[in-house]
């Protein structure tokens, strides 16, 4: 009863504040929990308390953790709530466990509704600031990252923060060459679109945010997925969906065709073009048309997807037509679409070696994907990362490459079994990873491959974004001495997750409860160590801007600890041990020149991150921009690889407010042609780190074939005594 009275008091306070706002800033409707959500929360708690690797009671202490994570998830940069809001909400701090167990989510939803109110107020305030303009001759700074700062204490402080945010947005556009009239139009549209998105939030958004505050309070890699989010996760794992093969973007209230996927129904029909706007969707030739103008993009996409071989009819406003232009109806048959852009890919790079050359095959693997459902049904052609890589290795062998580099940068993991089978392509049959379950039982995941697909020079390129399954593979290659691990220290995630469909547990007829991804085990290297917290340390390290305290498993406050178990019986090849000193010497000699600009980039990035301030004075900003761009231009001229270094580091990692080569626009504000041009430029930009990794492989190939012939294949003395009883690790483990 006390909790309900507290929630009622909070709701009345919110209503009173809403009544005092300026006209034209009416709030979106108040969100309320659905019955299936309250039931799903309780069911999820039951599952997690019984089967999670780290058992944590749902008590008052957990309530406090959930409360803090919920606020952090809603307002990570502390730009919406003020301290008085936090004080008002603090009465709910100890009630969130009961909210789950007693199936009463009014408290969590009250927090979310206050967040919606504050976000709406801040964005409305931002729009109001555009009418007066700004003085860019003043000397003042803007702090763009506030996660570690205290909550602001008053509405006045919050207004001043947003004044600086808007001023910075304006200045970025001004520095990019826009005049004041165009800037006002761009920013007014931006903030208005943000207000519309706030108004489109649903109870599913509120519930998922709260549930993930709960699940991540247990352990960082435990998550709740609502029905739609679960569908998206499944698509990301199997790299396929049933639809029409059109990539859509939300532009000015329209679901706009951004790209047509080759071989998909939309491309084959020749009836849709990039820039076309979808204004209606019907489920068949004679079905009623649903108007989707102004809809959330995910809602429109859900209507367009459907069962294979079914018909969907699209009401299309052509790209070159005005708002009142003539529409056309496009009828398409939905088909299975494979997301080839996210699949493994190969390329061949040439390295000069004295008077000759070496050809290095590069396999880029963005994730360890697998179509679990197709595999379970016995589909012989199920989508699989290791199967795709095996095919690419066969093609590279036919192209007579001298070495193979597996590029796992920013590969966050995926199916554990794929990491095991991928390792088997290079080491054959034997143990790959150890797994410690909830009860402390240890099993060994082993490759069953009798034949090695590639036994020549091998490298694995990793960075701080390489996690989980990537670390299993890199660690196994390193432990066996099979290849060189090159790059940055990896993420440090040494845990195994599984997916549980809550509807299946309850035998629910309709998808409504969602799914849980939660940790069931910790994995260990075959040498007994673990990648947890410490990651995989490269044999040859590259400069890095990634600060371990800010990014990676070790930066997470409730990550599982590092530990060690007994090694399994395996035999390592030592063929590379004698080569490493020479490889390092050659590497060091090269990077004295090629990494100069990269090291300057890292120094600039580190300086900007530590400074955490940006000037709002136009003259100072122009001077800072000119100095940076002159330095980068000098790098382009004096070191041919610098452009790639800038692409891979600065453009991707600097805060978006840093003003470096900045057009001031958000992706949805650029033309589709500009977006495509930018995408093409990124693809064609030279990649300094990749080039150096290829050079290292070229050196290895030369050292193994000193007379310039085809690089000798390594015969690895691997005859591991695998644990025959354990077989593979969890085949559907997601890590």
Which residues does the annotation mark as catalytic? 468, 479, 493
β-pairing, 356-364 vs 403-407, is: parallel
Q: What is the DSSP letter of 488?
A: S
- Contact at 8 Å (CB) between 383 and 239? yes
Distance between CA atoms of 593 and 588, rounded to whole angstroms? Answer: 9
C-beta atoms surrounding 683 within 10 Å: 8
DSSP-based three-state secondary structure for 136: coil
In 3D, which of 482, 498, 527, 530 has the Cα closest to residue 717?
Answer: 482
Strands of the sheet with 540-541, listed across from one edge: 345-353, 356-364, 403-407, 458-462, 484-487, 540-541
CA proximity to 14, closest of 71, 67, 89: 89
Residue 459: its H or E element: strand 458-462
Q: How many other C-beta atoms can be found within 10 angstroms of the C-beta atom of residue 517?
A: 17
What residues contact 366, with CB distance under 8 A and at least 6 apart?
A: 342, 343, 344, 410, 411
**In angstroms, rounded to a whole number, what is the distance separating the alpha carbons of residues 693 and 659?**
30
Our CA angle for 541, 536, 408, nearest 5°, is 80
Evaluate whether 518 touches 734 at the Cβ level (below 8 Å).
no
CA distance 242 to 371: 14
DSSP-derived letter for residue 28 is P
Give the side-chain half-sphere CA count within 13 A for 287: 16
Select from 254, 229, 255, 233 the least CA-distant residue to 244: 255
Give the number of other CB atoms < 10 A from CB of residue 544. Answer: 17
Residues with Cβ < 8 Å from 149, sequence gap 6 or more?
A: 78, 143
* Helix, strand counts (H, E) of the chain: 24, 21
DSSP 616: -
Residue with tokens 């009623």: 288
Strand 356-364 relative to strand 345-353: parallel, antiparallel, unpaired? antiparallel
């Amino acid at each position: 009863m006390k909790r309900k009275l507290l929630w009622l008091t909070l709701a009345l306070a919110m209503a009173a504040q809403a009544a005092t706002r300026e006209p034209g800033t009416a709030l979106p409707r108040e969100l309320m929990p659905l019955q299936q959500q309250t039931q799903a929360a309780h069911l999820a708690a039951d599952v997690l308390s019984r089967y999670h690797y780290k058992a944590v009671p749902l008590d008052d202490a957990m309530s406090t953790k959930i409360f803090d994570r919920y606020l952090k998830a809603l307002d990570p940069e502390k730009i919406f709530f003020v301290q008085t809001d936090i004080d008002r909400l603090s009465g709910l701090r100890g009630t969130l466990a009961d909210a789950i167990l007693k199936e009463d989510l009014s408290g969590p939803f009250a927090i979310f509704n206050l967040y919606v109110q504050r976000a709406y107020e801040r964005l409305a305030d931002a729009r109001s600031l555009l009418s007066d303009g700004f003085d860019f001759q003043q000397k003042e700074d803007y702090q763009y990252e506030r996660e570690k700062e205290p909550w602001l204490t008053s509405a006045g402080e919050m207004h001043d923060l947003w004044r600086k945010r808007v001023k910075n947005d304006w200045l970025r556009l001004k520095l990019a060459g826009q005049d004041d009239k165009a800037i006002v139009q761009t920013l007014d549209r931006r903030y208005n679109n943000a207000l519309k998105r706030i108004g489109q939030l649903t109870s599913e958004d509120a519930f998922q945010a709260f549930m993930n505050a709960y699940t991540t309070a247990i352990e960082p890699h435990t998550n709740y997925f609502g029905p739609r989010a679960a569908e998206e996760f499944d698509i990301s794992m199997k790299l396929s969906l049933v639809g029409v093969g059109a990539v859509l973007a939300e532009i000015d209230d329209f679901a706009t065709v951004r790209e047509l996927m080759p071989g998909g129904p939309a491309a084959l029909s020749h009836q849709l073009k990039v820039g076309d706007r979808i204004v209606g969707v019907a489920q068949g030739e004679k079905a009623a048309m649903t108007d989707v103008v102004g809809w959330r993009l995910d809602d429109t996409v859900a209507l367009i997807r459907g069962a294979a071989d079914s018909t969907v009819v699209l009401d299309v406003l052509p790209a070159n037509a005005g708002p009142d232009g003539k529409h056309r109806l496009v009828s398409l048959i939905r088909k299975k679409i494979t997301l080839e852009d996210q699949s493994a890919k190969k390329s061949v790079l040439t390295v000069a070696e004295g008077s000759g050359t070496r050809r290095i095959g590069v396999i880029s693997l963005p994730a360890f994907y697998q179509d679990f459902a197709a595999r379970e049904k016995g589909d012989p052609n199920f989508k699989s990362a290791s199967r795709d890589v095996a095919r690419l290795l066969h093609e590279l062998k036919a192209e007579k490459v001298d070495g193979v580099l597996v590029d796992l940068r920013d590969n966050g993991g995926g199916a554990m079994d794929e990491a095991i089978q991928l390792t088997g392509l290079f080491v054959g049959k034997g143990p790959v990873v150890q797994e410690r379950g909830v009860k402390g039982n240890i099993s060994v995941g082993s490759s069953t491959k009798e034949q090695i697909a590639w036994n020549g020079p091998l490298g694995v390129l990793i960075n701080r974004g390489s996690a989980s399954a990537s670390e299993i593979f890199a660690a196994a290659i390193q432990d066996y001495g099979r290849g060189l691990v090159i790059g940055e220290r990896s993420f440090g995630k040494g845990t195994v997750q599984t997916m549980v469909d809550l509807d299946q547990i309850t035998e629910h007829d309709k998808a409504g409860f969602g799914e849980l991804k939660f940790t069931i085990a910790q994995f260990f290297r075959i040498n007994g160590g673990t990648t947890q917290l410490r990651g995989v340390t490269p044999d040859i390290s590259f400069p890095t801007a990634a600060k371990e305290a800010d990014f990676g498993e070790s930066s997470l406050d409730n990550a599982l600890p590092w530990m060690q178990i007994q090694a399994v019986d395996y035999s390592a090849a030592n063929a590379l041990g004698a080569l490493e000193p020479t490889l390092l010497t050659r590497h060091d000699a090269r990077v004295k020149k090629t990494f100069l600009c990269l090291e300057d980039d890292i120094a600039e990035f580190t300086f900007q991150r530590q400074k955490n301030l940006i000037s709002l004075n136009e003259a100072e900003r122009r001077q800072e921009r000119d100095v940076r761009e002159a330095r980068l231009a000098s790098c382009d001229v004096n070191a041919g690889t610098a452009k790639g270094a800038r692409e891979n580091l600065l453009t991707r990692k600097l805060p978006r407010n840093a003003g470096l080569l900045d057009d001031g626009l958000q992706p949805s504000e650029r033309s589709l042609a500009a977006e495509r041009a930018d995408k093409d430029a990124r693809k064609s930009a030279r990649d300094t780190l990749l080039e150096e990794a290829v050079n290292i492989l070229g050196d290895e190939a030369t050292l193994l074939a000193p007379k310039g012939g085809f690089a000798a294949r390594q015969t690895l003395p691997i005859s591991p005594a695998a644990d025959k009883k354990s077989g593979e690790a969890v085949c559907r483990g997601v890590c």
